[in-house]
Amino acid sequence: MKKKSALAFLAVLLMAVVSPAILPKRFVPAMAHSGLVLSSWTWNPPTIDGVIDEDEWSMAAKVNFTMEGFPFNGTLYVMNDYESLYLAAKITDDDFGTNESTADAFVFVFDNDNDFTGFEVGDDVLFCWSISNSPFDNFFNETYWPEDDSAYGGTQDGFSKASGDGTYNYFECWHLLNSLDDEHDFSLKLGDIVGFAVVYIDNNNLSGAWPDFDDPWHDIKIAKPFYQGDLVLSDNDVYTITGEFIINGSIIVTENATLILREAYVNFTQTTHNQFNITLKNARGGNPRIIVDNATINAGNHWYFLNIELYENSTAQMNGLKQENSFIQLVLMDYSSANVTNSDFLKICSYESSSVDIAYSKMGSLETGIQSNVNVTSTEVHSFYATGNSKVKLQDSSITYLLEIYSSTRQTLIDNVKPCTVAYWNYLQNCSVIVDGGFAPNITLRNVYVANWSFKFGDSQHTIIYSSKLRWLRLYGSSLASVFETYITTLELYGSSRLNATDSKVHDVILRGSSIIWSVNSSAEADTEIYDQATIYANWYLDVYVKDSIGQYVPDANVTVKCADGTITARGQTNMFGWVQLTVLSFIVNATGGHYQGPHNVTAAYETYENSTMVDVNENTQATVVLADFIIPEFPSVFALMALLVSPAFAAAMLCKSKKASKRR
């Protein structure tokens, strides 16, 4: 259809609203849509008084328009809240009609079902008149004329006001999104899109349309809740969010206010990590609260971090909180408390004297510190980090990656700690922990699966670890620890800490400061990183056998082992079988590299007889030293052996004789 015919039809059609006539045929043009979408949310509905206040309409979506072929141009404003659609227009017009013959009107024509077909039965037409007592809310009825809703059993579900200043005419109106009258009105919900065009009537005559009716129409998208800036609750405010809520700012709950998220989807428009947050603080004698009953938080849709932070005596009751494309962290400080069920978090942190109960939930990590009190039931935790004097109970749960305990103690004895399901284990009891001025978390596990264990010690003394398998062991300050028959994936030492490792293995080693590792029959399987003045002293076992010239083992022989520079590294005495096991320094490793201490000189001496041999001790090694020209005297050996055999028999005989003498008496 040509534009001329469309406009001619529209002229007749629109004039019929003022002077109804009969159009004998149906007119239903097919339309594409232009791609222009106007959408904006407002929390502050404007006053519909015909005066477009820039503050009232500051949140509106705005677009400038020009009506083709006519001298009219201006600005269109669109916004909505949960219940209503708000529309306004400013258009160039040097007169303002005040009676029926000079009336002006700004008209919104809608494609209710957005099917690209206009002027269908039921489609809305809103007339914003410059005169009073003219119907605002109209629809296309069965004869395809725009008719007053109320004349056909409907209601006027909105109204309009207008004004003029000699340069512009101004029109404001509102209409319900859903009047529950589908026969006469559109029915729109959040997120819906409706096609539209606008028409201007000047002095009761059609004067222009935008877009022209043969051109693609534009769209209005019903915006979802959007809050610009920080949402601050105070005093006894109770603020409930349901459905989708978009906020370009933080939510701050103070004093005795309450924030409720119920069946809500909250979208923070962050463009970086932790740009916004939800914070409960400044109680001032009150109790800031957050209540969550099935809600999802999106922190910007780019896996950004967002914190929910509780201070002072704030409280949180959270059931069914989920995170979407985001990392949500719950942080409790001071004396705050929380109850969390059926929820997902990246992290929950409980510090100072805060407390939290967690059940049937899932989180990336759990951190506890100072004097916090935490109870966890039937929950999956990826990593759990405990420090301070926190008290933590986990039951019927799983730690799928790491349990790390950080303490500063005078004594800790760790035995047979390995990945497994723990029926019962208490850190203070099972590890015989003596704090004595330091700190140690009181952790209790009941029916808890632990995938990996990690221990950190700060300025701790007398820490002994037996027969265990650890993911991490970290020593800080002046800590001193010993490990026996233990496997450690990553070992880290800092400050002036020292570790004695015996019969153990480590995968990776990192040393800094002036820390020291003294290892015996222990090794690193992969990387060793040494910085500053840190040093590793690597020792191996050397089994020394001493024989005489005819191959007899020599007991009580003195054995000395020297490094290549003549330093004595080990000494000992053979047993009755002529054997002694010594611990020999093999390598000194520091930031400059590894320094071999061999070959080693092994010297054996018995009375005036002595001999030596050279041995490379770079692993567990055996060496034999033969004392030439020396034969062990047989008598002393035979006598000693007979003494061992005869002495018990002699003692038994004397005891028997004593008993017989006693009976005769």
297 and 324: one domain? yes
Domain end among 432, 452, 467: 467
Pair 65, 153 in one domain: yes
Q: What is the mean pLDDT of residues 455-471?
A: 98
pLDDT band at residue 650 using 50, 70 and 90 as cut-offs: very low
Nearest CA to 521 among 405, 620, 389, 637? 620
- Report the distance separating Cα 254 and Cα 262, nearest Å: 20
Domain enclosing residue 165, as ranges: 3-221
The verdict on 214 and 323 lying in the same domain is no
2 — pLDDT class (breaks 50, 70, 90): very low
Query: Does 210 fall in a domain?
Result: yes
Matching residue, tokens 């428009």: 269
Domain count of the fold of the chain: 3
pLDDT at 3 over 80: no
Residue 620 lies in a domain: yes
> Is the same domain home to 436 and 556?
no
pTM for the predicted model, two decimal places: 0.76
Pair (89, 169) in one structural domain:
yes
Are 71 and 136 within one domain?
yes
> What's the pLDDT score for residue 651?
47
193 plus 268 within the same structural domain: no
Q: How many whole angstroms separate alpha carbon 638 and alpha carbon 632?
A: 11
pLDDT at 100: 84
Helices (H), 54-142: none
656, part of any domain:
no
Please report whether residue 187 resides in a domain: yes
**pLDDT for position 149:** 44
Structure-block tokens of residue 613: 């041999």
First to last CA, the chain: 145
CATH number, domain with residue 210 = 2.60.40.1190
What pLDDT was estimated at residue 595? 97
Question: pLDDT tens-digit profile of 550-569?
Answer: 999 999 999 999 999 999 99
Average model confidence (pLDDT) for the chain? 88
Cβ atoms of 361 and 343 within 8 Å: the answer is yes
Q: Do residues 167 and 75 touch, judged by C-beta distance below 8 A? A: no
- Range of weakest confidence among 30-39, 278-287, 399-408, 471-480: 30-39
SS percent in the chain: helix, strand, coil, step 5: 10, 50, 40
Amino acid 43: pLDDT: 84
Answer yes or no: are the C-beta atoms of 146 and 16 closer than 8 Å: yes
pLDDT digits 0-9 by tens, 358-407: 999 999 999 999 999 999 999 999 999 999 999 999 999 999 999 999 99
pLDDT at position 34, please? Answer: 73
CB 625 within 8 A of CB 603: yes
Confidence of residue 637 (pLDDT cuts 50, 70, 90): very low
DSSP codes of every residue in 239-272: EEEEEEEEEES-EEE-TT-EEEEEEEEEEE--SS
Reported confidence tier of residue 427, pLDDT bands at 50, 70, 90: very high
Q: What is the pLDDT of residue 123?
A: 74
Share of the chain above pLDDT 70, in %: 84
Residues 269 and 186 reside in one and the same domain: no
- Can you tell me the mean pLDDT for 24-39? 61
Strand (E) or helix (H) holding 228: strand 226-228
**pLDDT score recorded for residue 38:** 96
Residues 183 and 243 grouped into a single domain: no
Domain boundary (434, 467, 500) is at 467
Assigned domain for 473 exists:
no
| Residue-wise pLDDT tens digits, 53-77 | 999 999 899 999 998 777 889 999 9
Residue 601 CB coordination number (10 Å): 17
Identify the pLDDT of residue 638: 39
Q: What is the pLDDT of residues 78-88, one digit of tens each?
A: 999 989 999 99
- Residue 642: the pLDDT is 42
